[in-house]
Structure 1
């Protein structure tokens, strides 16, 4: 046991760059260091020596979150090909990297996230379509399928789920039109770190 008392001095943990921190061989679970570059701060290995998970100690004080919207019409082609839904506007975002032109969100803070989306589709001619979340180019979650039997009608597809995400994971909302004539009529994508 260690009992250190002082009213004029503090405890100074090892200071190093992010590259030096990640180069530590088999860091013990609970190991704490101070990172001097990138996002400076105290980092703790919350993983194992074999599979380190470095997390900033203050990260949970402000969970990562983002709320992105589609407020423009986006014409879809009826060939079943997946199309990334345009998300030109970020209403708010923290702890995530948003690429407006690519309509993707990159995770910078690993953890458990609640991801939800709601997307309106305006069918000029009756048909069917699907909405899907993608992580690193692969489908995650459930397909939200929509069958529209009426012309000139708007309907919505949505989904909500919990996903474990790693730093560097890229999230996108995609849709495919299998028949009919339709366009994206607006929608939202929301990510919230819950742990």
Structure 2
């Protein structure tokens, strides 16, 4: 099986999953390279691209699709306008949040229960690419939420990346590199 696509409890045939990922990657490339298209993807209310993508990443979809959606969101976050919409939606849909006891939940649970089990980190790598871009646009974001995202990157990714098992060892380095890039952008801005 292709890494990230063996998460078979999802009843999406491999050919359909590959097609969905290809479409999401197409949107990512268009948005990354064309500012007008990027603005349309972010603003068109009948498409609801940001809200739909974040609703999907907050649900139990295949990890490879989730990773592609996070990367697509990263391309929409290149402009301040899209970044603010994405931050607002991530926070409102509790993609990563803290319990009253201080435990991170959301994508943290997914990292521990799905990605570590499959030894495949497509979702976390995509999420870190999103954070790398979003951390360029943090001036109006409540610091409490920023701390949760920083905690995830530092404690759950950087401090543990060498202790995890990987189906593909290059993912280990990609995970660490993307986490460091995200932290750099946070510290730099």
Between Structure 1 and Structure 2, which shows a larger proportion of strand residues?
Answer: 1
TM-score range, shorter chain: under 0.3
TM-score, length basis structure 2:
0.25
TM-score, length basis structure 1:
0.24
